[in-house]
Structure 1
Amino acid sequence: MTDDDRPGAGAHPVPGVEPTTPAWMRAAVQHRYGPPSVVETAQVATPRPGRGRVLVRVAAASVHPGDHFVMTGQPYLARLAFGLRRPRHGTPGMDLAGVVAQVGEGVSALAPGEEVFGWATAGALAEYASVRADHLVPVPAGVSAEAAAAVPTSAMTALQALRDVAQVRAGQTVLVTGASGGVGSFAVQIAKAFGAEVTGVCSTGNVDLVRSLGADHVVDYTSTDFTRTGERYDVVLDNVEAQPLADVRRALTPTGTLVPNSGHGGRWLGPVPRIFTARLLSGFSRQTLRPFVSLGRRQDLLVLADLVATGQVTPVVDRTYPLEEAAEALRHVGTGHTRGKVVVTV
């Protein structure tokens, strides 16, 4: 990212900028790692779009656990990517929906006034964000900005885990832990769209929600341990990883696939030790244990846009917060008990 593209760059209006685009904007900012209290709302300079980028007037931005990891700087291993001593990007947030305000040099596929959604490197929790043009797609007709902003990272994670990693096929049995959460709520619906028989694992209060998403069966983890029911699944997408790997493997068929996906773990290395163990065990079993890292892909976002447009996937929005309460939104995500997605409206 160049200096011109980072949030807060360019304190003065730029020649060619639309008169309606202000030189300054409101944004959530953080200057150090720590709890939600390190995030505050401030006036910063409006970014300008460099080559291949567009300036989006943000209507809504969703928050996911990755944003919470970046805010706290834990696990410490993540600081290699986000800044060793302090966050490299002063404004957090990745997933957003809004309206194109300006286009940078070399951008022809988008024009000012188009409603778009997608993901940024950072800076989504602000009135304007500079985003790569190939990270954005049109918002499906009739879909709100809040719903669109909920899609990118979490839904792409669910899609890639089920389609690319587990290669889910029609007729297979799929179990999703954390089925009422951000990734889980999308995974239940996507697995159903693929023709799978889906079991969702969630708490008592979320049973009805998970059923409404299309789950064929729901396991209430407060009263039932899915690893001890005797049921076996072709695929387990484990977004919680509350049980030991050996226990979860009991819930797999002899040739089943386990996809661990919580991202949590120790203070220093996070999920790395569990990922290493999973890969090691996979080499000595007919079962497949496949941790993965989701990647932002425009083509996958187009697939998801189609699933949303056709009603096969409906984003679940737990709570919305105004931009001034972005810190509270991050705090809520950090509890690990969201129903669907948490969205900040701008």
Structure 2
Amino acid sequence: MKAVVIRRYGSADVLQYEEVEQPKIKPEQLLVKVHASSVNPIDWKIRQGMLSLLTRNQFPMILGFDVAGEVVEVGSQVTRFKVEDAIYGSTSFPGGAYAEFAAIPENFAAPKPTNMSYEEAATVPLAALTALQALRDLGNIKSGQKVLINGASGGVGIFAVQIAKALGAEVTGVCSTRNLDLVKSLNADLVIDYTQQDFTEGNVQYDIIFDAVAKRAFSNCRKVLKPNGVYVSTLPNPEVIVQSFLTMFLPGQKVKFVLERPNSKDLVYLKDLIEAGKMGTVSDSEALRRNRTYPLQELVEAHRYSESERAVGKIAIVTLAAVSG
């Protein structure tokens, strides 16, 4: 099968499109013909070597976590899926989705939303699960609460705005000037242009501040966070880890960080939101001009574009297996 492989850490140029052996599945796994995947920042952070303590330099390595495709083989312990099922979900760490076929744990998969294409569904899992788990599990979001999403036009932020609205919150999205209309289209109650206004200097206090792009420290946000509010970051840097530990044992404001946990139950929850019309995906405008995708063999360019931090929403990757199949 064709796949994109890295044999060392480095720039996007280390991504090599080549022929590799098709994965052999374990009893609890599905073998999926990958119709589409997507680019997440964690993919190029692994590629750069930023997570080498976790990946342990196990080269060659196929990156990519998000998968949407068709089941072609099921392991002996699989009970919920059969061959030809359309699914979406996640690979195990450190990836494996940038290929024509991928092995997916059964409990990391769910039926694909019926009202989404494979390309659209492939942009959902990691980013939307991160948003859901940050708001629901860490933020304990409740209907009527005031929630601020920093980075509301990004890959995680677009889902965070929609999930918070679906859960009944009053949502403020923070983004750049060029993305104001986009975030308004996600039904945010208020949109702040960070080039014109610093939300941390405002008079409004929030129950939850979700920094979906890890750009504003808790120390900057605490005065606009309610006394018992929750600040959630996507980046577990040393400062956030220490503050999370300290606030865990003290009354008042809490600091937390989200580490996405793939699971079928949450994927089904997201699927239900999508099919009910309460959540959708947003593909980057440049990707839209390219039929909403980069082909797998152009993954180098997709990574470069994602690293530029100019992407809006998600960047989808389509495989030759999907094109030829």
Q: Please report the TM-score for the alignment, with normalisation by the length of structure 1.
A: 0.86
Identity %: 40
2:114 pairs with 1:148: no
List gaps (5 residues or longer) in structure 2.
288-292, 320-325
Larger mean CA deviation between 198-207 and 241-250 belongs to 241-250
Structure 1 distance, partners of 2:30, 2:7, is 25
Other-structure match for 1:316: 282
CA gap of 1:111–1:197, structure 2 versus 1, over 3 A, is same
Q: Deviations over 1:302-326 (max 9, x none)?
A: 1011111111010112122100011
Q: Which runs of 5+ in 1 are unaligned?
A: 1-24, 264-270
1:131 to 87, 93, 104: 104
2: CA distance, partners of 1:287 / 1:109: 42
Q: Deviations over 1:71-114 (max 9, x none)?
A: 1111xxx222112xx34552111111000111222223211111
| 1:148-181 C-alpha deviation (Å, 9 max, x unpaired) | 1111111011001111111111110000000000
User: Could you give the per-residue CA deviations for residues 120-144 of structure 1, whole angstroms, max 9, x where no partner exists?
Assistant: 1221011111111221111121210
8 Å contact 2:134–2:210 — kept in the other structure? yes
Shift in Å, 1:282: 5.8
Pairing 1:40–2:13 present: no
**Separation in 1, partners of 2:214, 2:33:** 37
Relative to 1, partners in 2 of residues 1:30 and 1:224: Cα closer, same or farther, differing over 3 Å?
A: same
Distance in structure 2 (CA, Å) of the matches to 1:120 and 1:50: 13
Candidates 309, 318, 322, aligned match of 1:345: 318
- Structure 1 residue identity aligned to 2:188: A
Task: Quote the Cα distance in structure 2 between the aligned partners of 1:229 and 1:304.
Answer: 33
Q: Is residue 99 from structure 1 mapped to residue 99 from structure 2 by the alignment?
A: no
Q: Which residue of 2 aligns with 1:223?
A: 196
Q: Is the 8 A contact 1:94 1:119 kept in 2?
A: yes
Residue 188 (structure 1) aligns with: 161
Shift of the alpha carbon at 1:331? Answer: 1.8
Aligned residue type for 2:184: R
In structure 1, the residue matched to 2:147 is 174
Indicate if the aligned counterparts of 2:235 and 2:258 stay in contact, CA closer than 8 A.
Answer: no
Q: Give the whole-Å Cα distance in 2 for the aligned partners of 1:221 and 1:67.
A: 27
SS at match of 2:160: helix
SS at the partner of 1:250?
helix
Write out per-residue CA displacement over residues 40-90 of structure 1, whole angstroms, 9 at most, x where no aligned residue: 10011112222111110000001111111111111xxx222112xx34552
Cα distance between partner residues in 2 of 1:272 and 1:141: 41
Give the counterpart of 1:111 among 82, 87, 98.
Answer: 82
The equivalent of 1:55 in structure 2 is: 31
Q: 1:33 touches 1:71 (CA, 8 Å); kept in 2?
A: yes
TM normalised by structure 2 equals 0.91
The one-letter code matched in structure 1 to 2:6 is: Q
Q: Counterpart of 2:260?
A: 294
Cα distance between partner residues in 1 of 2:205 and 2:91:
39
Distance, in Å, in 2 between the alignment partners of 1:282 and 1:53 is 37
| More off after superposition, 46-55 vs 185-194 | 46-55
The residue type equivalent to 2:14 in the other structure is: V
- Check 1:130–1:244 CA distance in 2 against 1; reply closer, same or farther (3 A cut): closer
1:235 counterpart SS class: strand
Q: How many residue pairs were aligned? A: 310
Bigger CA radius of gyration = 1
Is the CA contact 1:62–1:93 (under 8 Å) kept in the aligned structure 2? yes
